[in-house]
Structure 1
Amino acid sequence: MPKIKYHRIAAILVLVATAAWIATGEFSSVGSASQEAEAARKAEAEKAAERPATLKTVQVARPPRLEHARTIRISGRTEAHKETVLAARATGIVEELPFSEGDLVAEGDLIMRLDPQGKDVAVESARQLLEQREAEAEAAERLADSGNIARLRLREARSAVASARSALETAKAELDRISVRAPFSGVIDAVHTEKGTALTQGDKVATLLQLDPILAVGEVSERNLGDIRRDDVAEVRLVTGATLNGRIRHVSRAASPQTRTYRVEVMIENPDRRIPAGMTAEINLLTQSVETVALPRSVITLNAEGELGVRAVDPEGVVHFYPIDIVDDTPGALYLAGIPADARIIVAGQDLVTEGETVNAVMADEETLRDLAGGPAVQKAMQR
């Protein structure tokens, strides 16, 4: 029997051991272990998905509903209720000028009178001639009734009376033209002549203003025109700081060709005439009241489309966005329409959440409300 070499014996032993290992199934368990590990990882991921995620916390407030008038703010100025420049109606020398600048006058008061230059004498002469013609006509009536003169002579006498009466009226009109009288009550704002000055017809005499009532005048845009009505209430703030109430007297129905805006006149009582014409004013036109909420500016945010609005949370904690209609913008608050009555407005964290997201909503504490509130109106609205 030939002798077997050592390396062949070693190879045979390795082969036998490998066959035994395969037979035990340990080789196939490598793949099974890998599959079990993958299944365990999937199960862990599913459990993690099932666990609730940590919700973002936002602070909310439920502002009450407030009736507030929509306010249209425009810049303007004061103007006299009536203004006129009185002018000479005839040629002559100024004889009387009884009033000075700043004097109050009543309707019909004499403002200026020219030297009559014989016009008063002409009136007296025409009056005497009329009296003579009337006496002659009366005599002709009696004679005609008795048949002593022809009816033609009577008609001539009556015609002479009419002619004399016309001459008297003409002489009176000429005399009246030398006087300038106030067409309405007011204040003399300027005097443009002096006693002894020679005037021609049409020369300026004085400027007369009626300051009670006084007007606050401004321009509104085409967009706001439909919200304004005659007799609506208006608030006027003068450059002096005084605030006055008035009513809209007139809204122009024709736009300015240059600005495409419409003139609005607000009438204000001014019994002491302390408010002058030409003073700068801010006019707040108060339209019909609407239901609003008062919120600070910091609550306002933008959505993805760039719309202004607020974010609110529904009873399920889902975030919603509501576009707003700014009814009034005051130093203390924005008065907004378009927000549902039951909305819980997000007052802290509104820029950190998106529409459709579920959040943890908590009512804002008093300190947060004080920080947000810019004035008493907002504090009232936010604290409920």
Structure 2
Amino acid sequence: MANNNPVTGRLPLLIILTILIALVAYMQWPETVKEKKKYQRIVAVKTASVAYDDFVESVEAVGTARANEQVLITSKYSDLVDEVYFNDGQTVARGDVLVRLNNQEELAKVKELEANLSESVAQLNRLSELLNTKATSRSIVDQQEAKTKAISAQLLSARTKLDDLTIKAPFSGVLGFREISRGAYIDAGSVITSLDDLSTIKVDFNLPERLLTTVHVGQKISAVNSAYQKVKFEGQITSIDSRIDARTRSLKVRAKLPNKALKLRPGMMLNIQVVLKVDKLLQLPESTIIPIEDKHYVFVVQDDVAYRKEVEIGRRHPGIVEIISGVQAGEQIVQEGALKLRDGAHVKVIAHDGKLVEDKQSDLAKKDGGKA
């Protein structure tokens, strides 16, 4: 008897149709995965390396520059100016003649006393010979000896005054403006010019008393001034005051800065940085840190994938953060583009430690083009 069940008759057809659908789905599945990978979002980022570097602990202060030696050149006597031997701003050495006052009278007096002394010494020698032969008394010889000593003292005084009428530089340095002219009459104490030794600059500044145990002679400092914004002047502490200011509770410190190029001038305001301690610490740029509530995170790049990791941070400097734990030295951390990332996101590093990273595919294309 023939089987007229329609379902049984169509069963082979259904089986064949099912197999064809499964085959088509199987063949299309890799293409779907490839399309997803093809259109997967890749974020361009810039990275920085976790590295050990010097972490400088310092304190800042403000001070005023002073010349190593500074003096106002004045005259001890009132007289006419015979000669002026310098110009404004001239560099002079110790002992250089700056001004000569009228010295004719003192010069004549010195010559007179030299003649008197010569005669007195000759008379003393004759009397001494007579004393040896008992031809004169001891008292006459003593009187002549006293007279000779008096003339000698007067001559020394006259020579000293004559020297003082020639004004010389007491030390090497740079002169200020000339305040006198040739032929002018100046009084005793009148300012002729100023003289500054600028080879070294002194700077006094105050620090909190709590730093007394951490500040010492020989400690390094750096100074900056608004006139030279990109230049740091290095120096060291040379002395510390023996007292604490009772009103401000601060400690006065003096430092010296070499100034061979004469860039620094007395009176300049200097921003001082005193180096207290230098440690070798693991650190990162501050821009790599992502704060979330009371925790801190970074994105670590491995094989072009960004993974979020929690880190423990320590001390901070402007732009720098100490890393206590969470990442290791040498790891690549996302510095720019972190706000677009999630854990496991694919990334493309376009710059690392401030240097552009060339595209590997474009490099290969260039090489292939060169070979062709």
Matched, 1:368 2:368: no
Question: Are positions 1:97 and 2:84 aligned together?
Answer: yes
Between 150-159 and 255-264, report the one with greater CA deviation. 255-264
Partner AA of 2:275 in structure 1? L
Q: Which of 231, 250, 263 is residue 242 of structure 1 equivalent to?
A: 231
Candidates 59, 66, 87, aligned match of 2:74: 87
The whole-number CA distance in structure 2 between the counterparts of 1:151 and 1:87 is: 49
Asked if structure 1 preserves the Cα contact closer than 8 Å seen for 2:236 and 2:255, the reply is: yes
Please point out which of 305, 310, 326 is paired with 1:344: 326
Report the 3-state secondary structure (helix = DSSP H, G, I; strand = E; otherwise coil) of the residue aligned with 2:334. Answer: helix
Which residue number in structure 2 is paired with residue 282 of structure 1? 271
Contact 2:244 2:251 in 1 (8 A): yes
Paired AA for residue 344 in structure 1: G
Change over 3 Å in CA distance of 1:103–1:300 after alignment to 2: farther
Q: CA deviation at 1:320?
A: 10
Task: Kindly indicate whether the alpha-carbon contact (under 8 Å) linking 1:107 and 1:183 is maintained by their aligned counterparts in 2.
Answer: yes
Distance 1:63 1:163, change over 3 A: same
Mapping for residues 47-62 of structure 1, pairs under 5 Å: none
Q: CA deviation at 1:321?
A: 7.7
What is residue 65 of structure 2 aligned with on the other side? 78
Which residue in 2 is equivalent to 1:22?
Answer: none
Tell me how far 1:368 sits from its aligned partner.
3.1
Matches within 5 A, 1:302-341: 324-326=314-316, 329-330=317-318, 332-334=319-321, 336=322
Task: Give the alignment partner of residue 187 of structure 1, picking from 169, 174, 177.
Answer: 174
3-state SS, counterpart of residue 177 of structure 2:
strand
Alpha-carbon deviations, 1:97-142, whole Å to 9, x = none? 2111111111111222221251111111111111111001111111
Contact 1:88 1:203 in 2 (8 A): yes
* Matched-pair contact (CA < 8 Å) for 2:98–2:168: yes
Quote the residue 2:151 is aligned against: 164
Conserved? CA contact 2:131–2:137, under 8 Å = yes
| Structure 2: runs of 5+ lacking an equivalent | 1-47, 299-309, 339-351, 355-372
Measured against aligned partners, the alpha-carbon deviations of 1:22-63 in whole angstroms (never above 9, x if no partner) come to xxxxxxxxxxxxxxxxxxxxxxxxxxxxxxxxxxxxxxx996
Q: Name the CA shift for 1:320/1:193 in 2 (closer, same or farther; >3 Å).
A: same
Alignment partners' CA distance in 2, 1:248 and 1:147: 72
C-alpha distance in 2, partners of 1:257/1:195?
51
Structure 1 residue 201 corresponds to structure 2 residue 188: yes
**Overall identity of the aligned pairs, in %:** 19
Give the AA of the match of 2:276.
T
Paired residue secondary structure (2:72): strand
Q: Following the alignment from structure 2 to structure 1, what is the Cα–Cα distance between the partners of residues 217 and 320?
A: 28
Per the alignment, in what secondary structure is the counterpart of residue 247 of structure 1?
A: strand
> 2:370 corresponds to which residue?
none
- Equivalent of 1:214, from 172, 179, 201? 201
Partner of 1:268: 257
C-alpha separation in 2, matches of 1:118 and 1:300: 86
TM-score normalized with structure 1 length? 0.63
In 2, Cα distance between the equivalents of 1:62 and 1:86? 60
**Equivalent-residue separation in structure 1 for 2:353 and 2:201 (angstroms):** 37
Task: Assess, with a 3 A threshold, how the Cα gap between structure 1 residues 251 and 175 changes in structure 2: closer, same or farther.
Answer: same
Q: Greater CA deviation, 246-255 or 184-193?
A: 246-255
Mark the structure with the bigger radius of gyration: 1
Deviates more, 1:239-248 or 1:199-208: 239-248
Cα distance in structure 2, aligned partners of 1:270 and 1:320: 45
How far off its partner does 1:295 sit? 4.2
Answer yes or no: is the 8 Å Cα contact 1:216–1:236 preserved in 2.
no
Cα distance in 1, alignment partners of residues 246 and 79 from structure 2: 43
**TM-fit CA distance, 1:277:** 2.5
Tell me which residue corresponds to 2:19: none
How high is the TM-score relative to the length of structure 2? Answer: 0.64
Q: Deviations over 1:139-159 (max 9, x none)?
A: 111111111111111111211
Q: CA 1:174/1:236 → structure 2, altered by over 3 Å: closer, same or farther?
A: same
Query: Are the structure 2 counterparts of residues 71 and 367 from structure 1 closer, same or farther at C-alpha, using a change threshold of 3 Å?
Result: closer
The 5-angstrom pairing of residues 9-20 of structure 1 reads: none
- SS in structure 2 at match of 1:166: helix
Task: Compute the displacement of 1:211 (Å).
Answer: 0.5
Aligned residues, how many?
281
Equivalent-residue separation in structure 2 for 1:185 and 1:320 (angstroms): 59
Q: Quick one: which of 77, 99, 106 aligns to 1:112?
A: 99
Output the CA distance in 2 between the equivalents of 1:303 and 1:252: 46
- Residue 276 of structure 1: how far off its partner (Å): 2.5
RMSD: 3.6
Tell me by how many angstroms 1:174 deviates: 2.2
Q: Does the 8 A contact of 2:311 with 2:326 survive in 1?
A: no
Query: Partners in 1 of 2:281 and 2:250 — Cα distance?
Result: 28
8 Å CA contact 1:216–1:283 kept in 2: the answer is no
Summarize the Cα distance change of 1:67–1:273 in structure 2 as closer, same or farther, 3 Å threshold. closer
Q: What SS class does the counterpart of residue 368 from structure 1 fall into?
A: strand
